[in-house]
Structure 1
């Protein structure tokens, strides 16, 4: 089924201007198609709320989200909206209420297995300058789940690592101490580590924050290629709406810890929920 199929299905719903109706329609369609055996869900969240330890107010609440395998989704929203919390919840890093099913597994019971199959890039990850590891060693850490602890990397493992670094334009940094690299270079190393895992799911939290325009295009292209060639599912958090991958199938808007709009990116940008979250701004995309 082509990626544009979701848009066709959504328009056939005949919904009105309410973002809640659009969201409900998309959710019901995904559920009915999946139950019919046509599509496989990579992520399924039902009535999910996550509260940080020591806090009384949930950081995200009443989250209902279904993501089919091979979708590329932008997670957008103002600061403090709950975007990072959503990714950490999906990755099984936070305790939550409700159903969190990832790659067909209950993340509470099988969180380690989910993380083994997921490439995760955290937000604002900076390596101390005295870190002794080389850049290629950090990237190789992404393959530990495949290699096994205390086992040496194989020839193929190193081929995968170097191929990913080549694709990201950092092969020449392979033998440099990662702590001596610039912020943008370290960001690419962390992205390479996630890709070297050969994941089924990618969770990228502000992956473009330290990258120049050319590097952003490279990363977006790699993510889109993984979706098209291997049906890798990807959720990309970004505060820079102009840097949002144009290949995105959907945009999920969070505000105040809730999903307030979910659909085709251009429709989300025109929604009342987007206006409430961002005000009168014009989104310019490539």
Structure 2
């Protein structure tokens, strides 16, 4: 953490993981901004839930924070690094579980291979896993409840099992900030309850979490803030999480 720099005193003093100030962004080929004048601070240790109807801008907010979209006004800092200019420095501390988690063609790979991809930014091409990394892969698979599937082809798993593997891939690098986009979408009720408790436990041990969810019945008990969005804007923020 000593290498994480801060540009603004307010960000440094308040220990801000994500800072967005009057941010509007644009998807390629579109003329109308996708999110408008967004201001948000996510402090270290927060468990923030982003909610709102489809098209509200929740995923867009995450993609903006990750430097994936064109920022047309405002500024974004992630661990004090300017986004998008310094995003590759900031993303060392971040993991992301997208909603379309199996969009990439992963059929030829085993569960172990997919989780090991979480180390990619820290290793040279084709570099083998160390003994400690192999142990970590097994540890996170056990953590998400699919340790017995470690050698199975990813394409042979159910949607819920694939989602758990994708979450394990995000956790294997021990992120300081974890973005989760609809992490319960392919899980059955038992799986949702299990993962809700797991996310709370991860947050308890120091990982900051920003989670998008439509499922109002599975709000992790560690959640401490709810931000509601509509039509690309933040319309309300609650400092206590409860079923909406």
| Shared fold (TM-score, shorter chain, > 0.5) | yes
Q: Distance in 1 between matches of 2:10 and 2:84?
A: 23
Q: Distance in 1 between matches of 2:85 and 2:55?
A: 28
Counterpart in the other structure of 1:26 = none
Confirm whether residue 147 of structure 1 aligns to residue 123 of structure 2. yes
Q: Which runs of 5+ in 1 are unaligned?
A: 1-32, 270-282
Q: TM-score w.r.t. structure 1 length?
A: 0.77
Q: CA deviation at 1:34?
A: 4.8
Counterpart in the other structure of 2:95 = 119
Equivalent position to 1:57, from 19, 28, 32: 32
Q: CA deviation at 1:118?
A: 0.9
* Bigger Rg over Cα: 1
Superposed, 1:81-120 pairs within 5 Å as: 81-96=56-71, 97-120=73-96
Confirm whether residue 74 of structure 1 aligns to residue 49 of structure 2. yes
| Structure with more helix by fraction | 1
Q: Distance in 2 between matches of 1:148 and 1:224?
A: 33
Native 8 Å contact 2:21 2:74 kept in 1: yes
Native 8 Å contact 2:24 2:33 kept in 1: yes
Q: TM-score w.r.t. structure 2 length?
A: 0.90
Counterpart in the other structure of 1:239 = 214
Counterpart in the other structure of 2:22 = 47
Decide which moves more: 209-218 or 59-68: 209-218
CA distance change for structure 1 residues 121 and 129 in 2, over 3 Å: closer, same or farther?
A: closer
Q: Distance in 1 between matches of 2:207 and 2:36?
A: 27
Q: CA deviation at 1:137?
A: 0.6
Q: Which runs of 5+ in 2 are unaligned?
A: 1-8
CA distance change for structure 1 residues 51 and 127 in 2, over 3 Å: closer, same or farther?
A: closer
Native 8 Å contact 1:200 1:232 kept in 2: yes
CA distance change for structure 1 residues 98 and 127 in 2, over 3 Å: closer, same or farther?
A: closer
Q: CA deviation at 1:264?
A: 2.1
| Structure with more strand by fraction | 2
Native 8 Å contact 2:197 2:221 kept in 1: no
CA distance change for structure 1 residues 34 and 182 in 2, over 3 Å: closer, same or farther?
A: same
Q: CA deviation at 1:128?
A: 7.1
Equivalent position to 1:259, from 227, 234, 238: 234
How well do the aligned residues superpose, as a CA RMSD in angstroms?
2.1
Q: CA deviation at 1:193?
A: 0.4
Q: Distance in 2 between matches of 1:256 and 1:225?
A: 32
CA distance change for structure 1 residues 246 and 113 in 2, over 3 Å: closer, same or farther?
A: same
